[in-house]
Structure 1
Amino acid sequence: MTKVKPITSTMVFEAFWECPELALVRNFISRLWMRIYDLLQMAANLNQTLMYLWLLSHATCLLGFVGSFFVPGAYDAALVGCTATYVLAVSRHLRFLLSDTRFRGSLSTRAPISELLRGENTILLAMATLMATTAPSVVKMVPFATFASMNLVSFVLLDVMTASHFTKTLVPFLRYVETTILSHMCYWDYAVMAAYAWEGKACWLVIFVVTWLMKLEISELSRKSVHGVLAVVSCVIRASGIVLLVLAMEDLKLGAAVLLPTREILLADKAAATPVINLSLKHRVESLMFDSFSIINDVDR
């Protein structure tokens, strides 16, 4: 009679540990950790503490935002994280301008500092500072937490897993998702305006609106959001049947098309076959606001 060997907890654990699915997960985690370790060692060897600060500020902002739903004090951590993020980005932009020889000896009437003041990161730093000096609001924090999560995901996929076939396949989808999210965040600016208006202090709302108007100059997605809102309002007014309001709305839309041009508007206008207006149509890799670490840290590019 064959003696049946009893199944022990050790046997179950060994069988589970050696299963192919778990081995695949272990291999992925091991490769991910080794890649992160190599990057951290490279930063330490080159004395590039910017990478540590960049990752820490993004992580602090995102974790603080999530934690603010459970721990009130976590909101302050999110404020510190998002402010530190854009202080680093603005300082990076400043170092880039100081190393750029194009501005030396230039006879232009516009001072080089205007490039810094009109930069994406400077505008976001102004918004973050305004948020830090006003009443706590999750609505105000949503865009910064979104940008932090996008940058962290981009860092893992583009800087940590650079040689992965999975990453190369996922990049086009990542670009599409990022553009969609950024477009929604431009519409979220109107919710932030409502949050400042709800506080009952007109000065905060005015400061935010002025900063937002500066953002319209450099962000085509923000300009598209304005046209989107005007299109919705126009539909409502047309449904009302009030001729005077319909005509006024059409004039407003025509004025917005001139002051806030987009690629679609210019392509639809045959007279603007060769547009000369700067539309700020930059690839994400060229943007200072949403660069992965490898681009942000490359000051001399």
Structure 2
Amino acid sequence: MALRNHSTVTEFILLGLSVAPHVQVLLFVLFFMIYLLTLMGNLMMLLVIRIDSYLHTPMYFFLSHLSFIDLCFSSVTVPKMLENLLSQTKTTSVRGCLAQVFFVSFTAGTEACLLSVMAYDRYAAICHPLLYGQIMSKQLYMQLVWGSWGLGFLDALINSLLAMNLVFCGAQIIHHFSCEMPSILPLSCSDVSKNIVALLYSTFLHGLGTFLLVFLSYAHIISTILNISSTSGRSKAFSTCSSHLSAVTLYYGSGLLRYLMPNSGSPIELIFSVQYTVVTPMLNPLIYSLKNKEVKAAIRRTLGKHFQRIRC
């Protein structure tokens, strides 16, 4: 999987978010704090779901995998961003850049699949509550989760293998803070038609495909909620999926726009990238803990047991 021997470029320059030194320091502090919150929030979710037996259900099994993928997603991009914010050179090797492309695609694709699987879970719980245990069997939700990881890996592998055959020469500046497929294709001096086709298929089949599954699930959910006669019943039904709906809106709203818009290094493009690669992994555990009564109760029980042990 090595690059061709006659490739004249061995490293790229990541311009990042700003070239002003004082702004870079402020951005370093900001994103360092965001990364710490991301680590603590998602590790807390993993710990609480693992410890509390009340959360050993399909919904929280999916949520634990979402928290883990958010940890991975953020760790693929943010540490390198922080390094470049304090560095004068801001370079990354071609191999390192392609490795980051693979892991960004892998984690982003897996998260998209997980969000669509979680939408189906909420559809089964709200639209078919009496059959939920039969529909969402252990065998099925295990298959859905590992299928999500498998599809994310396969999608990233295909695009990355095609990128390994590219030759980079001349221009080596990436107008971005991380290596993503849309950012590196314009830097190649070889034929990228296959890469563009593969990327478009990935975006439309994987990105829009999973979004369509989410949309159809919520169309049925909203229809079911509107048919509930009591106001309290509608409120209770909606509360079970409001957290997931918020997470879906944040992720797809910025992720799809990032990959569908032309690659230009514009501020709005960078904002969308920061939103879905940096901010969303931090917000997901906050959304699920602040808007979910079961998670808040589990956190209180976990902290209560911890303080009791300290007193003893």
Please classify the TM superposition score into its range, dividing by the shorter chain length: 0.3 to 0.5
TM superposition score normalised by structure 2: 0.31
Of structures 1 and 2, the larger Rg is shown by 1
TM superposition score normalised by structure 1: 0.32
Relative contact order higher in (CA < 8 Å, ≥ 6 apart): 2
